[in-house]
A and B are shown apart, each in its own frame.
Chain A
């Protein structure tokens, strides 16, 4: 995250008070928030949910979860204030969980001065907070949906129990407005992983709801050859800011209506495009009861035209610098959270590509341009042996633009902190 990039904090920033995720004890969490949740739940437990009034907490952790199932087909389910704890992970008293709070809100995120874009954002920031844990740590993420839209969290590259994988209607119900969903899992395997929303992914995940999940090893073998102390995470992004605005507006309109029906206990799964089976879906379409939104009579398709590109939520020249010193190794973790490939080229240096998708390569490769494809993570090691200011940018130069104006987009600067420059960089935004 940007905080890290500013001051190049040590890799173990678990207790950094900045934007990195801070764990706190499970007991404290229970005392502080459970009661609030219960109170909220009691207010809405108007009998529409088939659970006893005070058991708004759908508690399944630590046992088989025999009656855990989709609520989406219950007539008039209303999940506001509900806390869902799916089965599949040890209970709180069985392992020592590190507890994290995560929510989602709508923010007006500024990509570059003058361009503010509505986005669904984890804890109100783009990217979401950066997790730093050690391999084998037990992680509990209490996810609160503070929007009127549905969301989930998918833990990308982590081998979590399937009930924690965050794929709507495949592994869980989407987290409803006002609902709390508790993810529990063990952080493994190690490496550069990430997380993102899996509901409406082209908008939600690619345009805001993404964050890094770094699983450290206490005995990192890479440090033998590349003794780095500082590491940086760069999440690479591509935005169509007009699509983001139009799509969120459309979703809000639809969800205001859907949430009204849910609050009235009259939510019909078909209205939300939900079917129990493919056969159900097929017959509903065939006999005209359901008109799919992708039909040519209903949709012209989504005219996505990416016009802004960035690193960690910012486009050039709003991006930050990566600090390095002579004789120092730094590790740079590249994560492509968007829908187009970025071809990141570093000036003045070769670097070593050491890991892909979080896993160390058998043989590091020496490169100066690395192709970072959607969904993938790529780790490189840079050695400080050429003092100066060095561009590290997307060499697909059509994307090195802000709204078509060069230079912009995904552009970072490698900056030596221990030299006296002769030529000092300034800001140029129109070439």
Chain B
């Protein structure tokens, strides 16, 4: 007998089996979560660095996120995330991962956010603190490659609540320039492990700790000499409330990164070259959130960052970013930000970047057919909700 016919017969039987159990095999609608935002700003700028903002209108960081998930037959939740994001004119599929989670574990497999940062800063866009608050990609110079990759990421919640041991393995993007330059690495090029504490989103104004963590993020890198080496970076971060006042909240966000690098004397004029150099950086932000009658109305933050490349003479960067966000309605905000970066003589000939950005942002977070709830809900963390 033709082998294909035999296999398809077995396959048909396998498909038919579940259908025999119930007269009506009803389709289970997933929960649908729409997330994302559109942020448009008018930028007035003058700068020297390769990341400097230009005069113009920017929609960078705008994106749409779709989460589809459902309860499984016996235990846990399974689903998928699809996300698109604009990177200064180029729309990329940033997230396409399938996941499983329950009270004790979260597993994501596929395209997703890299674990090269532990915390979010209260600035308008991720790339406002690019280079300071992320471990750079040693084989890509575009923005996508700094933030996204293909990973298997496992977060094991050791206390079943807020504290997790994290492990990830996968591939950072290696861009065309590095591939054609023979600087690509075959197989896995990223691995890391860490510990993090994450407060329930529902409790961020009433508990002392919002989040904290420490992580080791390693990249497999091909050096100019054609030798493959592992390059490691250490990240530590904390987001802590300075007062416990849900109506007028002061908080402090901090993150420090030490990147051991692999080239200690090379050129540092591109993102990937800087990622390969030994560096240390820290960013800290003071954030005030005004919530009269417990309705969030505005937030002001001052973010300050510093980075230096100790193997290079006077190669340092100071960044100061005051940010103001006023909520006009749920998810709709008027935004304003001033961004200043000053460089030591070893970077951009000691020049500076200055930008003023004013705009509107619309954030989306809508759930349909929510039959699940969230892993870090109060009900789950404190009352043992059914999962």
B is a partner of A:
yes
**Contact in complex: A297, B385 (CB < 8 Å):** no
Which residues in chain B, 344-379, are within 8 Å of chain A measured between CB atoms?
370-371, 373, 377-379
**Contacts known (A260-B244, A268-B293); A246 close to B370, Cβ less than 8 A:** yes
Question: Whole-angstrom distance from the CB of A240 to the nearest CB of chain B?
Answer: 11
Q: Give the CA-CA distance A248 to B385 in the complex, in Å.
A: 11
Q: Which 6 A-B pairs have the closest CB atoms?
A: A257-B246, A253-B202, A116-B386, A252-B378, A271-B293, A260-B206
Whether B3 sits at the interface, judged by CB under 8 Å, is: no
Which residues in chain B, 181-237, are within 8 Å of chain A measured between CB atoms?
202-203, 205-206
Whether A108 sits at the interface, judged by CB under 8 Å, is: yes
Whether B329 sits at the interface, judged by CB under 8 Å, is: yes
**Contacts known (A249-B202, A261-B247); A271 close to B294, Cβ less than 8 A:** yes
**Contact in complex: B206, A256 (CB < 8 Å):** yes
Which residues in chain B, 123-150, are within 8 Å of chain A measured between CB atoms?
none
Max count, chain A CB within 10 A of own CB: residue among B22, B206, B370, B378: B378
**Contact in complex: B385, A245 (CB < 8 Å):** yes
Residue of A nearest to B374 (CB): A249
Whether A298 sits at the interface, judged by CB under 8 Å, is: yes
Residue of B nearest to A257 (CB): B246
Question: Whole-angstrom distance from the CB of B240 to the nearest CB of chain A?
Answer: 16
Interface string of B301-330 (1 = CB under 8 A from A): 000000000000000000000000000011
Apart from the given pairs A256-B202, A258-B294, 15 other A-B contacts in the complex at a CB distance below 8 Å: A108-B383, A108-B384, A108-B385, A118-B379, A118-B385, A246-B370, A248-B379, A249-B379, A256-B203, A256-B206, A257-B206, A257-B247, A260-B244, A271-B294, A430-B23
Q: Which residues of A are found within 8 Å of B23, using beta-carbon distances?
A: 430
Q: Which residues of A are found within 8 Å of B203, using beta-carbon distances?
A: 253, 256
Question: Whole-angstrom distance from the CB of B378 to the nearest CB of chain A?
Answer: 4
Which residues in chain A, 286-344, are within 8 Å of chain B measured between CB atoms?
290-291, 297-298
Whether A106 sits at the interface, judged by CB under 8 Å, is: yes
Q: Which residues of B are found within 8 Å of A254, using beta-carbon distances?
A: 294
**Contact in complex: A118, B295 (CB < 8 Å):** no
Residue of A nearest to B200 (CB): A253
Residue of B nearest to A105 (CB): B383
Contact of B26 among A106, A266, A404 (CB under 8 A): A404
Q: Give the CA-CA distance A256 to B244 in the complex, in Å.
A: 11
Which residues in chain B, 3-52, are within 8 Å of chain A measured between CB atoms?
22-23, 26
Interface string of A221-259 (1 = CB under 8 A from B): 000000000000000000000100110110011101110
Interface string of B322-342 (1 = CB under 8 A from A): 000000011000000000000
Q: Give the CA-CA distance A266 to B293 in the complex, in Å.
A: 11
**Contact in complex: A270, B293 (CB < 8 Å):** yes
Q: Give the CA-CA distance A328 to B362 in the complex, in Å.
A: 68
Q: Give the CA-CA distance A253 to B382 in the complex, in Å.
A: 12
**Contacts known (A108-B386, A260-B206); A245 close to B246, Cβ less than 8 A:** no
Q: Give the CA-CA distance A28 to B45 in the complex, in Å.
A: 78
Residue of B nearest to A248 (CB): B379
Residue of B nearest to A254 (CB): B294
Q: Give the CA-CA distance A335 to B246 in the complex, in Å.
A: 42
**Contact in complex: A252, B294 (CB < 8 Å):** no
Q: Give the CA-CA distance A194 to B370 in the complex, in Å.
A: 32
Q: Which residues of A are found within 8 Å of B206, using beta-carbon distances?
A: 256-257, 260
Question: Whole-angstrom distance from the CB of B89 to the nearest CB of chain A?
Answer: 33
Residue of A nearest to B21 (CB): A430
Q: Give the CA-CA distance A248 to B382 in the complex, in Å.
A: 12
Question: Whole-angstrom distance from the CB of A430 to the nearest CB of chain B?
Answer: 6
**Contact in complex: A257, B294 (CB < 8 Å):** yes
How extensive is the interface on chain A, given as a class? 20 to 34
Give A contacts to B, CB under 8 Å.
106, 108, 115-118, 242, 245-246, 248-249, 252-254, 256-258, 260-261, 264, 266, 268, 270-271, 290-291, 297-298, 404-405, 430
Give B contacts to A, CB under 8 Å.
22-23, 26, 202-203, 205-206, 244-247, 293-295, 329-330, 370-371, 373, 377-379, 383-386
Q: Give the CA-CA distance A297 to B330 in the complex, in Å.
A: 7
**Contact in complex: B202, A252 (CB < 8 Å):** yes
Q: Which residues of B are found within 8 Å of A266, using beta-carbon distances?
A: 245, 247
Q: Which residues of A are found within 8 Å of B370, using beta-carbon distances?
A: 242, 246
Residue of A nearest to B373 (CB): A245
Contact of B373 among A106, A246, A260, A430 (CB under 8 A): A246
**Contact in complex: B22, A252 (CB < 8 Å):** no
**Contact in complex: A290, B378 (CB < 8 Å):** no
**Contact in complex: A242, B378 (CB < 8 Å):** no
Question: Whole-angstrom distance from the CB of B208 to the nearest CB of chain A?
Answer: 12
28 residue pairs from A and B, CB less than 8 Å apart:
A108-B384, A108-B386, A118-B379, A242-B371, A245-B373, A245-B385, A246-B370, A246-B373, A248-B379, A249-B377, A249-B378, A252-B202, A256-B203, A256-B246, A256-B378, A257-B206, A257-B247, A257-B294, A260-B205, A261-B246, A264-B245, A266-B247, A268-B293, A271-B294, A290-B293, A291-B293, A404-B26, A430-B23
Contact of B247 among A245, A249, A271 (CB under 8 A): A271
Question: Whole-angstrom distance from the CB of A113 to the nearest CB of chain B?
Answer: 12
Q: Which residues of A are found within 8 Å of B383, using beta-carbon distances?
A: 106, 108, 118
Q: Which residues of A are found within 8 Å of B294, using beta-carbon distances?
A: 254, 257-258, 271
**Contact in complex: B379, A252 (CB < 8 Å):** yes
Q: Which residues of B are found within 8 Å of A245, using beta-carbon distances?
A: 373, 379, 385
**Contacts known (A118-B383, A253-B202, A271-B294); A430 close to B247, Cβ less than 8 A:** no
Q: Which residues of B are found within 8 Å of A291, using beta-carbon distances?
A: 293, 295
Q: Which residues of A are found within 8 Å of B247, using beta-carbon distances?
A: 257, 261, 266, 268, 271
Question: Whole-angstrom distance from the CB of B294 to the nearest CB of chain A?
Answer: 5
Contact of B246 among A108, A260, A404, A405 (CB under 8 A): A260
Q: Which residues of B are found within 8 Å of A270, using beta-carbon distances?
A: 293
Max count, chain A CB within 10 A of own CB: residue among B26, B206, B246, B373: B246
Q: Give the CA-CA distance A258 to B245 in the complex, in Å.
A: 10
Q: Which residues of B are found within 8 Å of A117, using beta-carbon distances?
A: 386
Q: Give the CA-CA distance A248 to B244 in the complex, in Å.
A: 23
Q: Which residues of B are found within 8 Å of A290, using beta-carbon distances?
A: 293
Q: Give the CA-CA distance A307 to B370 in the complex, in Å.
A: 13
Question: Whole-angstrom distance from the CB of B354 to the nearest CB of chain A?
Answer: 36
Residue of A nearest to B74 (CB): A114
Question: Whole-angstrom distance from the CB of A274 to the nearest CB of chain B?
Answer: 11
Q: Give the CA-CA distance A117 to B246 in the complex, in Å.
A: 29
**Contact in complex: A257, B205 (CB < 8 Å):** yes
Q: Give the CA-CA distance A37 to B267 in the complex, in Å.
A: 73
Residue of B nearest to A251 (CB): B378
Q: Which residues of A are found within 8 Å of B371, using beta-carbon distances?
A: 242
Q: Give the CA-CA distance A249 to B384 in the complex, in Å.
A: 12
Q: Which residues of B are found within 8 Å of A253, using beta-carbon distances?
A: 202-203, 378
